[in-house]
Amino acid sequence: MDSQASNASQSYSGWLWQRWRRKRKRDRARNLAIVRFRLTREGWHFLFVLLFIFVGAVIREINLLILLAGTMIGLLNLQWRFNTRTLQGLKVRRRIPTRTMVGVPTDVSIEITNSRRWLGSWLVLAEDQLQKVEPNVKRLTEKGVALIDEVQPQRSTSARYELRFLERGRYRIGSTTISTLFPIGLGRGWRALDNSVDLMVHPHLGKLLPACRSLLHVELEGNAKAVPRASVHEGEFYGLRNWQTGDSRRWIHWRTTAKRGELSVRQFEQLQRRQLSILLDLYQPKTKPSEAERQAVERAIAFAATLATELVSRDRDRLAFAIAGESVDVLPNVQSVVLVHDLLDRLSEVRPSAAPNLVDAVSQFRLSLMRTPVLLVISTRPDQFAALRQELEHGLSQPYFNRLQVRWLNASNGELEPYFQWQPPT
Amino acid sequence: MDANTVKNLRAILTLHFALIAVLTATLVSYGSGSAFLPLFILIVCVVGFLIVDSLEWFALNRFGVFIGMTTGTAFAVGSYAYNTFSIASESGQLQAIAGLLVFPEAVLFMQRKNLRVFEQLAIFLLLEIMVAALVNDNLLFGILLLPIVLLWVSSLFHFSRYATLVQIAPHIEVPMPKLFEVLVAQFVKSIMGAERPKGIVESKLVSSPENRTTPSYRRILQSIPLGIGAIAFSALFFYFLPRTTAGGYRPKLNQQVRVGLPETMTLGQVGRALQDPTPVMRVKLTHDASAEAYTILEGPYIRARVYDHFTRMSDTTRWDLAPSKFVYGPIPDYARLGADATKNRDRVRVEFDLLPNCQTDSFTLPPTFLPRGGRKPNATINTYTQLLQPNQQNDEERHLQAYTLGSMDYLNGRQLDILPILPVHDSDDISRFLRAHMGNLVDINHRDFPSVELLRNRIIREANVAEGESLAQAKAIEKYFSQAGEFKYTLDLTAAVDPKLDPVEDFVANQRAGHCQFFASTMLVMLRQSAIPSRLVLGYKPHEFNSYGQYFHVRQRDAHAWVEARFSSRDLMGTDYEQWIAPNSEYWIRFDPTPSVSDDEVIAQPNQFTDYADKLWKGYVLEGRELTGEKSIYAPATEQSKNMYAQLAEQWAKLKEDLASGKFGTEAGAIGFAWPLAILVAGVGMGIALLWQLIVNLPRFAPKLAKRIGMSPRRTDFHQEFFSRCVRILRKFGFEREDSQTPQELTREAADYLAHEKGVESSKEWLQFLTQSYYRIRFGGGRPLNDQDQVAVQTALKSLEKSAAKLPAQKR
């Protein structure tokens, strides 16, 4: 009996909860659709003069001033009506890539569709709020701004703006605010849209120098022959995605296309040739880091990113990657472009730490190291492997350590310079 | 962003503001008679536009602006002080006030333009328009208001674009920083110790060929309907704004009272007035019952002053109203008029529209009564002079700017020359006073006028009139002067006068030429010599008629003097006046001895359309008389709200009393609330709302019915405009897309039909290409077509359209 009562009360509270959620969703959608209006600085000046004239007209019974005040009220009224009407019924669509790179200009296109039958929209300003979400949250003063001069009724017009990021990370683009000063700039009408998307900004890549190639070649020689060659196919089947211009018709997956009603194509992974294990040790003192220390971290990340891009994307090699920063992240098999993107995404968001957990990283790395006992440590501090070895001895067997070849590169004292050329973007 | 675009925008804005500045300065200085300010600002604008904005040779820097503003303001203030305390020139004061706004504008025009400069210019120009409205209320303001508003709207159109561009890219202008901003920046720098940290994102607007800038001429064209809309709104606002009084009379800063008639008159004064063409008022006569225009055959005798006291001074003669107990009373209703004031007379309504430069006169056409409509004067009537006495004390309120009176002075379009002494039948006390006062009306020093006496005797003798027949004597004298031709009408008063003689005596003995004042004064002397009580009346006798407004336009040169003589009903028995007299009554008979001249004929007013427009402007805008008159749309509200505050206070007191005594709510039924009407209004409102909801929601609830009656919303068009266009073309051939049909199936079907039935083989290729392009965008991640594809799409569409145009509009 009690359980029945409690079930009933639970279902009733659940119903209430659902109802409240639906209402909140509805209200939110309604608020987003509402065009808000605010006087501009010029509008306030105008209103002040208008009040001055109107009060004078009423007190002194001067009809000409009432006429003048009426004209000014008419202008304000028209501003308000046009402002709000201009923005109602506009649909905004943003086109933006999901990934970009530090220092590389990124085109963002904003298309505005005017679904009204007869009234056009003019002077529409689309502003995208920018926010850095990872590795640290930061609201940016800069905005992505596109100006659309005119959108005719039942037409679409697009405008573009360009973003150039100077720091890696995950950025939130949006929400978009469309606003207009049309027609006479006395007030600004605006509408906020719920269309924010995340954009991953990958680290700025550098250039691998020939010394790096020769070094890697020597270390990877033993594994290169063991890799099977590519077959007649493009690679191993990896997944499905939407069809894009330029895709071969042979890649279309007709069954999925029929299911979804949209063209879908298969994706393939390229086969690897060589193997390498990389441990990225991102150490940064807890106290306020100096510019040089920050640069060292960025340089180390950039080197790792460049290595992954060059070796996997171009040379079809296989990497095992461990990142030891504020948290430990391990990618044991980086062997395709898609996985490189995944790695770069993680590198974009990674935060350095005062105490990177190298033990945990290497422990998670163990299988890869057993297969490929060549470990390249990219660090921001001097060689710590001796201490690390002592800690690891409990978990790993002696033969394993005997096979392990470790190369420790300290980015903070210029050990990367013979292998890597990199300039932070300005 | 293209620098030239911004520069052009600045130039257009500067031109707009320059035009507004010149027009507004013209309005401000129009009444002052000086063209200095408009010319000054015009020259500054031209020079500024060329040197500062176009060639960019020179621009005032911050120091220059400071010096310019200070100098301009000091000059304007000094000029105002000089014109106030030194030479007391109102037009000079006006110029100085306008200068206070115009000189800073000139400084702003010489600055390099930026958002802040444009904002300041706009504020100064707005204030200047306000000053223009205060000092210049003539029709020119109304005429120029529309172009000025259009220019304002157009300039604000451009301003909004400029402000938007500055918001996007602040670097497009380098505004001159305010001193305050410089200090704040210094303070922040000293506190923070470093410059602003560098951003981590750079954002840049990219110009897109698809997003073309609207041409400037389109913005100007767009501003026209908006400006007209603002004026229309203003008109609605102006006429629907509830008000209980008309616009008050306010003498303008530059306005001087220049016309009117004096309270004390000396001979020769009227002569000067007769050469002054300044407008005084407009007088319109209508039927009191129908409010239709009342046709009259000659200009009316409009009464303005009455003189009954005669003083011989050293070199002239002075006429004034003898100081005695004048009897004032309310202006009577028609019902209170006596039979002798209403019998055989037409009931006419007279609208007096006094122009602002007219002094505080009141004009009548007696017998006077309060008409049914029109603006009633807040005044009492002097029974003796039949003139009005305003009730208010101060000059502004005393001025009867416009008022309407009833008149019983006409019969069949002819003004009667007989006026009952007591138009109101119940004024016995007044009657006794007037009878006692009549003794003064024959007062004259006979020794001063020997020649006049001789002439009078001759006239009476030649007319064979007996000494006792006073009316016949008066008629004979009037006829002699107006018809005999021995005395000439002239305004040339340069002939030498004999200072030893009274001017009237001199007129008869020597001059024998003069204007109406001489003729009337001479006749008055003669009447008094004949012991006929008489008095001099001064007023206007206009002759310019405005056919648009059906009114007489009265100028100062229409001033006229005539004589009124008192007769009893016994004197008038057996004469032409018999039909208007009643037993035991007394009457004033008007005599006009002035010889008629050609100017007396009624003529069309020159520039009558302009004057009529000015009358409308005054009636509908400046004073808003038409807003509170009986024709006003809210006249009932005005009538209802007369004692609104008193009624509200009374109701509030009653409510408090009921609350205190516990009776509140017990007499709810006594409020008299119109429940049936309220229910009807609410019911109709709800019915309309329900009907509207039904119409809106019908497609949702009954889609088939909505489709059948054509209320179903159209299927959403294709997102790509080119394919929507393609579908529209196919619709002409009768191909409507079915719900179950894909775009490709539609175009394939249409292509087959066109190729096989109509012989348009190429249509297959065009439609296939269009469909493929559509699919590529729709299912290909939304990437737009490249330039080549766009050209190909347009070509295909045009070809399809051409084919459609060639084929007959035959449905499939």
Predicted confidence (pLDDT) per residue in B73-86, tens digit: 999 999 889 888 88
Q: How far apart are CA A190 and CA A288, in angstroms?
A: 41
**Percent of chain A surpassing pLDDT 70:** 86
Residue A39 scores a pLDDT above 90: yes
Predicted confidence (pLDDT) per residue in B475-506, tens digit: 999 999 988 788 888 887 777 777 788 888 88
pLDDT of the residue at B368:
92
Predicted confidence (pLDDT) per residue in B626-663, tens digit: 655 555 555 555 555 556 667 777 777 887 777 777 66
Residue A315 scores a pLDDT above 60: yes
Contacts of B776 in chain A (CB under 8 A): 245
Instruction: Find the mean pLDDT for residues B699-717.
Output: 69
pLDDT of the residue at A394:
67
pLDDT of the residue at B350:
93
Query: How would residue B20 be classed by pLDDT, with cut points 50, 70 and 90?
Result: very high
Residue A229 scores a pLDDT above 50: no
Residues 103-162 of chain A whose Cβ lies under 8 A from any Cβ of chain B: 105, 107, 113, 122-123, 125, 130, 132, 138, 140-150, 154-162
Contacts (Cβ under 8 Å, ≥6 apart) of B274: B491, B515, B516, B556, B557, B559
Q: Under a CB-based contact definition with an 8 Å cutoff, are residues A271 and A236 in contact?
A: yes
Residue B474 scores a pLDDT above 60: yes
Disruptive mutation site among A45, A50, A71, A102 for chain B (greatest number of B CBs within 10 Å) = A71
Instruction: Find the mean pLDDT for residues B112-121.
Output: 88
DSSP annotation string for B388-452: EEES--SHHHH---EEEEEEEEEETTEE-SEEES--BTT-HHHHHHHHHHGGGGG---GGG-HHH
Contacts across the A-B interface (CB distance below 8 Å): 215
Instruction: Find the mean pLDDT for residues B759-785.
Output: 80
Of A220-234, B128-142, B528-542, the least confident: A220-234
Contacts of B719 in chain A (CB under 8 A): 113, 156
A24-28, A395-399, B225-229: range with highest mean pLDDT: B225-229
pLDDT of the residue at A200:
92
pLDDT of the residue at A222:
41
Buried b (16+ CB within 10 A) or exposed e, B599-613: ebeeeebeebeebbb
Contacts of B200 in chain A (CB under 8 A): 132, 138, 140, 165-167
Residue B337 scores a pLDDT above 70: yes
pLDDT of the residue at B554:
92
**Percent of chain B surpassing pLDDT 90:** 18
Query: How would residue A3 be classed by pLDDT, with cut points 50, 70 and 90?
Result: low
Contact A145 B203 (CB under 8 A): yes
Predicted confidence (pLDDT) per residue in B277-306, tens digit: 888 889 999 998 888 889 888 889 999 999
Q: How far apart are CA A361 and CA A330, in angstroms?
A: 7
A193-207, B393-407, B647-661, B671-685: range with highest mean pLDDT: A193-207
Q: Which residue has the higher pLDDT, B757 or B71?
A: B71
Contacts of B16 in chain A (CB under 8 A): none
The SS3 of residue A207 is strand
Instruction: Find the mean pLDDT for residues A177-193.
Output: 90
Amino acid (one-letter) located at A386: A
Q: Which of A46, A62, A138 sits opposite B134 (nearest CB)?
A: A62
pLDDT of the residue at A64:
85
Instruction: Find the mean pLDDT for residues B393-420.
Output: 79
Query: How would residue B718 be classed by pLDDT, with cut points 50, 70 and 90?
Result: low
Q: How far apart are CA B461 and CA B798, in angstroms?
A: 107
A333: exposed, middle or buried (Cβ count in 10 Å: 0-12, 13-18, 19+): middle
CA distance B496 to chain A (A): 51
DSSP annotation string for B625-690: HHHHSTTSTTHHHHHHTTTHHHHHHHHHHHHHHHHHHT-TTTTGGGG---HHHHHHHHHHHHHHHH
DSSP letter, residue B171: G
Q: Identify the helix (H) or strand (E) that includes residue A67.
A: helix A63-87
**Which residues are registered as beta bridge partners of A322?**
A279, A330
* Strand arrangement, sheet containing B317-320: B265-266, B317-320, B309-312
Q: Under a CB-based contact definition with an 8 Å cutoff, are residues A379 and A283 in contact?
A: yes
Q: Which residue has the higher pLDDT, B539 or B785?
A: B539
pLDDT of the residue at B671:
43
* CA triple B622-B624-B626, angle to 5 deg: 140
CA distance A416 to chain B (A): 25
Contact A245 B783 (CB under 8 A): yes
Asked if the C-beta of B164 comes within 8 angstroms of chain A's C-beta atoms, the answer is yes
Decide if the complex's ipTM is over 0.85: no
End-to-end CA separation in angstroms for chain A: 72
Residue B812 scores a pLDDT above 50: no
Query: How would residue A246 be classed by pLDDT, with cut points 50, 70 and 90?
Result: low
Predicted confidence (pLDDT) per residue in B414-456, tens digit: 999 999 888 776 667 677 777 777 777 888 888 888 999 999 9
Whole-Å CA distances, B129 to B23, B27, B138, B220:
10, 8, 14, 21
Residue A180 scores a pLDDT above 90: yes
Asked if the C-beta of A400 comes within 8 angstroms of chain B's C-beta atoms, the answer is no
Which residue is listed with tokens 């894909």? B742
Q: How far apart are CA A357 and CA A364, in angstroms?
A: 11
Q: Decide the pairing of beta strands A207-208 and A420-421.
A: antiparallel
Residue A247 scores a pLDDT above 50: yes
**Which residues are registered as beta bridge partners of B97?**
none
Predicted confidence (pLDDT) per residue in B346-355, tens digit: 999 999 888 8
Predicted confidence (pLDDT) per residue in A8-38, tens digit: 666 778 888 888 888 887 776 666 668 889 9
Instruction: Tokens for A353, please give them.
Output: 């730490």
Instruction: Find the mean pLDDT for residues B350-370.
Output: 83
Q: How far apart are CA B90 and CA B97, in angstroms?
A: 11
- CB pairs under 8 A, 24+ apart, for B726-733? B726/B767, B726/B770, B726/B797, B726/B800, B729/B797, B729/B800, B729/B801, B729/B804, B732/B804, B732/B809, B733/B804, B733/B807, B733/B810, B733/B811, B733/B812
**Percent of chain A surpassing pLDDT 90:** 13
**Which residues are registered as beta bridge partners of A130?**
A173
pTM for the predicted model, two decimal places: 0.68
Q: How far apart are CA A345 and CA A353, in angstroms?
A: 18
Asked if the C-beta of A25 comes within 8 angstroms of chain B's C-beta atoms, the answer is no
Predicted confidence (pLDDT) per residue in B184-215, tens digit: 777 777 766 655 556 777 777 776 665 666 66
Residues 151-170 of chain A whose Cβ lies under 8 A from any Cβ of chain B: 154-167
Q: Under a CB-based contact definition with an 8 Å cutoff, are residues B56 and B147 in contact?
A: no
Query: How would residue A224 be classed by pLDDT, with cut points 50, 70 and 90?
Result: very low
Q: Which of B126, B153, B213 sits opposite A184 (nearest CB)?
A: B153
CA distance B169 to chain A (A): 10
Predicted confidence (pLDDT) per residue in B582-595, tens digit: 887 889 999 999 98
Contact B248 A61 (CB under 8 A): yes
Q: How far apart are CA B770 and CA B760, in angstroms?
A: 16
Query: How would residue B398 be classed by pLDDT, with cut points 50, 70 and 90?
Result: very low
Residue A91 scores a pLDDT above 70: yes
The SS3 of residue B709 is coil
What is the chain B residue with the closest CA to A123? B161
CA distance A56 to chain B (A): 10
Asked if the C-beta of B194 comes within 8 angstroms of chain A's C-beta atoms, the answer is no
Q: Decide the pairing of beta strands B317-320 and B201-206.
A: unpaired
Instruction: Find the mean pLDDT for residues A147-158.
Output: 87
Asked if the C-beta of B255 comes within 8 angstroms of chain A's C-beta atoms, the answer is no
Disruptive mutation site among B164, B236, B255 for chain A (greatest number of A CBs within 10 Å) = B164
Disruptive mutation site among B141, B171, B172, B233 for chain A (greatest number of A CBs within 10 Å) = B233
Q: How far apart are CA B365 and CA B346, in angstroms?
A: 13
Asked if the C-beta of B739 comes within 8 angstroms of chain A's C-beta atoms, the answer is no
Contact A142 B623 (CB under 8 A): no
Residue A218 scores a pLDDT above 50: no
Contacts (Cβ under 8 Å, ≥6 apart) of B473: B460, B463, B465, B467, B527, B530, B532
Sequence length of chain B is 812
